[in-house]
Chain A
């Protein structure tokens, strides 16, 4: 498709533009968070505990230990986004590669990879993540690993289905006849044709990973206190729901806006590249 046309569609798609602008905004805020945070996000100040928003420079109030919620929110965004970025990149590379191999070679390789991915698909993501985290113990490394293990199948399935369509096309046969290597054909001939659905999946998975990480952190199996994350902030606030509802509302709204932005982006991309199925 023509570049100009794609750009025109992007600007016209409300979903895409909203998602794109909000996502960019969230990313910029989280990069600039050390400059924007006006308090130390992990410093306790028991005198100032459970202050409501707006009091004494605490824009969004303070939590049960007197820590500034606005600063924690900003710091939490860094962890959430960075983890999602690392997880999505790793899972996309691993999953796409296995999917390409599986679809391209077929036969036993395909059966093996498909059986493995079926097993991972047949265990509910959060349950597997909880079991592994409980056994391995909590650390950021384990968290990333668990999230990759439970999400690579998405990309694998997608890449495989697309390869199955592509591999019998004339341009692939032509490359084979000209003696191009399998790896070369997979990466330079077939892969470029699946970038669009891949981009849509990545965008949706980004939001998904942020949510799963929040659930794990909420259950105490993700990011550990005193490091702030949106999930563990909601867990903290749950106990003070009647007296300090802002403790829950702030991280929840941030979580929703961020995930919504990436889902809008994914939907918008679909509109832009495939306008007949809006």
Chain B
């Protein structure tokens, strides 16, 4: 059963990846200007542009161009960046670890804060603690990343002079961007944890364990928590997509040289090949994360595979 589920999800992912590649391919066609001219200096003559067009295969039918493009992508050739004059693949590979580090720190920070808060709020539903937790969550969902980032810098760097505002280095540099990026996730996980806990605590088996005289704290941590965890795993997976988008803003504001900042620079430089490849790589990464999340969830709760 599990094996068939894996196959089905793999098939779906391949289809999604195929369409994403078509989208990325189409996107560069609708961009204004001649893609061949983009690759050349402004002084290039008509003949040079024409020669470049032939070299890039722009005179061929679209499906041939697509096959050539996807063939290149599958061999790891994402084209050449106009602004950096080097291979797009190596630029992205250079920037990827920084974003990975930021994402990992963000997930860690937000889960450490939100899971305890959410669970306590769920157990003590209707209490003052619960109200404050919900307020924390609602504010987090309503806080624009842009503004939160700027305010973090204003409070912790400008006013209190506690943490560095810009650049990369030790853990100190990681704190502000990770909190900024992580607050909305923390907000959502708080809510999921809370409602998951409330649902689970209504189940008969919890009442049964409590009736048997097993201490409350043990019931909560050992039995209830595990089941409240499943939706959280899914949310974290889906939120990776948000991180990759939010990373553009956060990395730009905090001068964090990751993929997000690169995307913003590529847009500013009108480096279409780079924008296209970033879209492709980020969407593919996100699709793979969701595949992995689904497979983990199916392992935790085998009923999912029966769908």
Contact = CB atoms under 8 A, between A and B. Distances in A.
A119 interface: yes
B23 interface: yes
Interface string B122-155: 0000000000000000110111111100110110
B248 interface: yes
Given A135-B27, A241-B150, A255-B144, A130 B248 contact: yes
Contacts of A264: 138
A154 interface: no
A68 interface: no
Chain A's interface size range is 35 or more
Contact of A135 (B30, B138, B244, B253): B30
A118 B282 CA distance: 15
A211 B144 contact: yes
A237 B138 CA distance: 26
B267 A263 contact: no
Nearest to A263: B142
B142 A248 contact: no
Interface in A85-133: 115-116, 118-119, 122-133
A252 B16 contact: no
Contacts of A136: 30-31
Contact of A215 (B28, B151, B195, B249): B249
Nearest to A123: B283
B167 to A, nearest CB: 16
Contacts of B147: 214, 234, 248, 251-252, 255-256
Contacts of A221: 267
A218 interface: yes
A263 B306 CA distance: 35
B286 interface: yes
A259 B151 CA distance: 17
Interface in B7-51: 12, 15-16, 19-20, 23, 27-28, 30-32
Interface in B245-275: 245-246, 248-249, 252-253, 263-264, 266-268, 270, 272, 275
A263 B248 contact: no
A234 B146 contact: yes
A8 interface: no
Given A123-B286, A131-B279, A241 B245 contact: no
B158 interface: yes
Given A125-B245, A241-B158, A252-B151, A131 B276 contact: yes
Contacts of A238: 150, 253
Chain B's interface size range is 35 or more
Contacts of A277: 195, 198
A131 B275 CA distance: 6
Contacts of B246: 126
A260 B143 CA distance: 8
Contacts of A231: 144, 146
A260 B19 contact: no
Residue from the set B12, B138, B153, B252 with the largest chain A CB neighbour count within 10 Å: B138
A124 B241 contact: yes
B245 A127 contact: yes
Interface string B79-116: 00000000000000000000000000000000000000
A263 B198 CA distance: 21
B279 A127 contact: yes
Interface of A: 115-116, 118-119, 122-137, 207, 211, 214-215, 218-221, 231, 234-235, 237-238, 241-242, 245, 248-249, 251-252, 255-256, 259-260, 263-264, 267, 277
24 contacts: A118-B16, A119-B16, A119-B19, A122-B287, A124-B242, A124-B244, A125-B242, A126-B248, A126-B249, A132-B27, A134-B266, A134-B272, A136-B30, A207-B141, A214-B146, A215-B249, A219-B267, A234-B146, A238-B253, A241-B150, A252-B151, A256-B142, A260-B142, A263-B141
